[in-house]
Amino acid sequence: MTENDQGNVPSRQRKRFPGISSRAYEHPADRSALVALRKLSGFDTVFKALSGLLPERSLRLLFLSDSVRVSDAQFSHLNDMLRDACYILDLEKVPPMYVTQDPKPNAMCIGLDEPIIVVTTGLVELLDEEEMRAVVGHEVGHALSGHSVYRTVLLFLTGLALKIAWIPLGNVAIMAIVTALREWFRKSELSADRAGLLVGQDPQASMRGLMKIAGGNHLHEMNVDAFLAQADEYEKAGDLRDSVLKILNVLPRTHPFTTVRAAELRKWSESRDFQRIMDGHYPKRSEDKDTSVTDSFRESAGHYADTVRTSKDPLMKLVGDIAGGAGDLAGDLGGRLRSRFGGGQGPTKPADGGAAAADDKGGEGGPRSTSGDGQSEG
C-alpha cells in the first residue's frame, strides 16, 4: 500500500503489524486446513477451472449495480476504517467494499480472483465506530487468509444442493461437501474474529459487537460479562441428549453461535499468543512457503485434544473419560507385558528376592511346565 492509499489517520493510535502472516491469528483447525490446501499440487489450477462455473462476475456486477460502493464520497467513515484495517494488517491491495440494503446485520468477504467485502445496512446501523472497526478488521482478516475463495465455493455448492435436491444421491454427495466446508468455515470465523481484534485492539468493543448481533441495539439492557456467562452455561448445560442437540443445531450454520465466539475471543485475548503479537513477535508472510503441513496438523490435533480435556460439555467429558480410560488400560497392559517378558531384555528383577527365586524355578508365576514331547501346555 502506498502512502496515498493509506488515507486518513485513524481516530486513535493503533499498533501495526508489517508483513504479518495470517498464521499469526488463525485458529489451529483453520490453519492446518489452509496450509494443506496451499501446499496441495494443482490446487490453484482446479480452482481457476472451477471459477468458470462460479457466478463471481455476476456477483460483482450485482453489488456494483444494486449496492453502494464505499469510497471517500460514500460511507467515508467505513472507507477510513477499511484503509486503516488494511494498513494495520499490511494488506497491500484494499478490497472493494459495498453496503447493501438488508435489515439483517451481516457481513461477508467473497471472490475467487479478488475479494470483495459486503456489509448490510442492518449491521452499519447497529454498531458504533469501534464495534464496526472490529467487523471491518474481521473481513480484512478473511481476505488476508484467503477465506473468500472457499466462502464463494460454499455459497455456490449450497445453491447447487438446493437445485439438485430432487436427485437423492447427488444431493447427498453435495451436502457432504457442504457440511465439511461449513465445519471448516465455522473455525475460519474464529480466526477472523481474532483478526478483527488485532485491527480494533479493543476487546470490549469486539465483545459488544457480538452481543449486539445476538440481542440488538439495546446496550443499556445488556451486559458483556453476563453475555459471556451464557457461553459457559451453554457449554456445560444438560446431559448427553443436549450435547447431541447442540451438534444438530450448529450443523446447518456457517458461523458459530455468538456466545461461543465471544468466549473464544476473550480466551484468545488473554492468551500469551495474543500478547506476543501485540509485542511485535509474530510469523511473517515471507515464511509461509516454509510452513510444515505436519506441524500444522499436529498443532490442530493438540488443540482438539486440549479442547476435549478441558471442555465442560457432557459429551466431550465422556469422550475425554473414554480416551483417558483407554490410555490407562493401554499403560496397564504395557506394564504387565513388560513385567512378564522383561521388554525383551531378560526377566525384570522383582523387589522381593524370594519371588524372583520362585520364578527362576518355575514356581507360581514362573514358566509353565512342559510335556514329554517338549511342547508347551496350553
Q: Write out the catalytic residue numbers.
A: 139
Beta carbons of 211 and 224 less than 8 angstroms apart: yes
What nine digits make up the cell of 54? 462460479
Phi-psi region of 343 (alpha: psi -120 to 50; beta: other; left: phi over 0): left
What nine digits make up the cell of 161? 444442493
List the end-to-end C-alpha distance of the chain, in Å, as a whole number. 79
Count of CB atoms within 10 A of residue 199's CB?
28
CA–CA distance, 85 with 14 (Å, rounded to integer): 10
Q: Which residue has the cell 528376592?
A: 353
SS3 349: coil
Count of CB atoms within 10 A of residue 351's CB?
6
Q: Which residue has the cell 488443540?
A: 303
CA distances (Å), 312 to each of 126, 297, 306, 318, in order?
33, 24, 12, 10
CA–CA distance, 95 with 112 (Å, rounded to integer): 12
Partnered with residue 97 across adjacent β-strands are: 117
Which residues have C-beta within 8 Å of that of residue 189, sequence separation ≥ 6? 254, 255, 256, 261
Query: Would you list the DSSP string of 175-238?
Result: HHHHHHHHHHHHHHHHHHHHHHHHHH--HHHHHHHHHHHHH-S-GGG--HHHHHHHHHHHHH-S
Beta carbons of 209 and 178 less than 8 angstroms apart: no
